[in-house]
Amino acid sequence: MSDAQLHACPWAQGDDYLAYHDQEWGVPSHDRLRLFEKLCLEGQQAGLSWITVLRKREHYRTCFHGFSPEKVAHMTDARIETLLTDAGLIRNRLKLYGIRKNAQALLALEAQGVDFVDFLWQFVGHSTIVNHHQSMADVPAETAEAKAMSKALKKAGFTFVGPTICYAFMQSMGLVNDHLTSCPCHPVNQ
């Protein structure tokens, strides 16, 4: 495809989305904190549009100690109750308490000798799955890999990690590359 025929994925409309699409979405990450943050933020998005969470992301980072699992795991109920009054966050009790629960689950995994990054990347064989979708209609909402990740995360004590959330997480963190083949970010065009 010539450069003139390439264009960003259709969902990447507006400056915030386009920057996220071009600079983050689908870029493989093996960073423990980034992976934990994104897993939690994908859970915050449940039932909402991603742009809502994207625009609140910096405030989440401030309120949740940069998503340091060690710090988040020790947040008190009183602190989380205070955060429920913060308009800069999605004020859903289960979702906000879920971030702490996920931090505790991550630390419990690591206490068993499990590397969190390896744990997540195992579902794609430790290598990005590059798909060749031509339209958004071709992109699934979940896959067998996402279902397996969801099941394992739930078993480990994580919350807000259903298969659709897991697949969105896999796409965003580069475990899966679902940029359309007409997108300049798809590997076939680089």
How far apart CA 107 and CA 60 sit, in angstroms, is 20
Write down the catalytic residue from 17, 25, 37, 50.
Answer: 50
Which three-class secondary structure string do you get for the chain? Answer: CCHHHCCCCCCCCCHHHHHHHHHCCCCCCCCHHHHHHHHHHHHHHCCCCHHHHHHHHHHHHHHCHHHCHHHHCCCCHHHHHHHCCCCCCCCCHHHHHHHHHHHHHHHHHHHCCCCHHHHHHHHHCCCCEECCCCCHHHCCCCCHHHHHHHHHHHHCCCCCCCHHHHHHHHHHCCCEECCCCCCCCCHHHC
Write down the catalytic residue from 17, 37, 42, 145.
Answer: 42
Q: Does residue 20 have an active-site annotation? A: yes
Q: Does residue 42 have an active-site annotation? A: yes
Write down the catalytic residue from 20, 24, 97, 110.
Answer: 20
Tell me the catalytic residues. Answer: 20, 42, 50
